Amino acid sequence: MGQTNREAEKWDLVILPKRGWFDLHLRDLWRYRDLISLFVKRDFVTFYKQTVLGPLWYIIQPVLVTVVFTVVFEKIAGISTDGVPGYLFYLSGIVPWTYFASCLNETSNTFVKNAGIFGKVYFPRFTVPVSVVIINLVKFGIQIILFVGFYIYFIAGGSPLRPTLLILLLPVLIFQMAVLSLGAGVLVSSLTTKYRDLTYVMSFAVQLWMYASSVVIPASKVPERFLYFYMMNPMASVVEMFRYSVFGVGVVNPVCICISWAVTLAVLFGGIILFSRVEKSFMDTV
């Protein structure tokens, strides 16, 4: 036994047939941290080089959606906004949701989009979705500033809303969204290596998912007996938490938070397991 141990220590790298379910090479991921930062930089730079409208679009898009939602859901359908002015209410849902949705959409084609590079050189594949989640923070930051601008405008206009101390937990919320979208994204990206048409289903599914995430309909309108079931959607909890911390309204309780974190972690681990399965054999099937 001692003999084999010494043998194993001698080698820096042992390549074995794929087996094992949970093998993310976290050490490798750390060693390649420069790569993550360069991927982020690449996406950032190319984004600004390609289009003038790009950064502006980040502002136009949520504003337009907010206006549409306010007109359709608040004014016409008369759906409750928990006493928050419609524009603020919808914007506060759209901003975190947009971060989540774009992370999910972009990470979900990790394998297909990077097949060229993945086939030529080894680096921890997980660096790609991780960098996507980071680069989207830039966009999120821009939209948060937009939101703060709106909020100040409304407060100045005499709105009684005030942020609560929970706002200090905002980084935790962002972290949860990052983890969730990363988990769901790699899960989907692993599946798309087998089922290419999932890519088309994805954008549609993300749209539908939004309507079940408190962006439009607040959780307070969900019947009591369905509440915990509703909160199995971690994004619903995240959006409610966000609203609660900035406006002091919304459904927030420890059970809901626990449920949403449990689901988030389950998705992350499920995603990682599938991803690490696929990353080894992926090149043989493309």
Partner 1 sequence: MPETVIKVEGLSKQYRYGVIGHGTLYKDLQSWWARARDVEDPNAKIVERGGPGLDGERFWALKDINCEVKKGEVLGIIGKNGAGKSTLLKILSRVTTPTEGVVKIKGRVASLLEVGTGFHPELTGRENVYLNGTILGMTKSEIDRKFDEIVAFSGIEKFIYTPVKRYSSGMYVRLAFAVAAHLEPEILLVDEVLAVGDVEFQRKCLGKMKDVAGQGRTVLFISHNMGAIRNLCRRTMLLDGGRVILDAPTHQTIATYLEQNLIEGAVATAEQIEQRIEGVICWKNPYLRFRQITIFNDEGVPRRSFHSQEDIRVSVVFECFHAVQDIRLMVYVVDENAVPVLGTYNRDDPAVSDRFYRLEPGIYDAVCVLPGNTFGEREFFLTVHLEYPKTEHIVVNKILSFDVRFEGYNEAYGGGADIFIRPQLKWTLKTLEKGDMARQKI
Chain residues in the site for partner 1 (CB under 8 A): 10-18, 32, 34-35, 37-39, 41-42, 45-46, 49-50, 116-123, 194-198, 201, 280-281, 283-285
For residues 278 and 186, is the Cβ–Cβ distance under 8 A? no
For partner 1, the closer CB: 131 or 214: 131
Number of other CB atoms surrounding residue 51 within 10 Å: 11
Between CA 166 and CA 155 the distance in angstroms is 19
Q: Closest approach of Cβ 191 to partner 1, in Å?
A: 8
Q: Closest approach of Cβ 271 to partner 1, in Å?
A: 18
Between CA 188 and CA 202 the distance in angstroms is 8
For residues 274 and 11, is the Cβ–Cβ distance under 8 A? no
Q: Closest approach of Cβ 139 to partner 1, in Å?
A: 18
For partner 1, the closer CB: 196 or 221: 196
Degrees to nearest 5, angle at CA 167 with 165 and 172: 125
Between CA 148 and CA 1 the distance in angstroms is 63
For partner 1, the closer CB: 123 or 261: 123
Q: Closest approach of Cβ 26 to partner 1, in Å?
A: 16
For partner 1, the closer CB: 62 or 129: 129
For partner 1, the closer CB: 184 or 216: 184
Helix (H, G, I), strand (E, B) or coil at 123: coil
Q: Closest approach of Cβ 275 to partner 1, in Å?
A: 14
Query: What are the C-alpha distances in Å from 103 to residues 130, 182, 247, 263?
Result: 10, 7, 25, 18
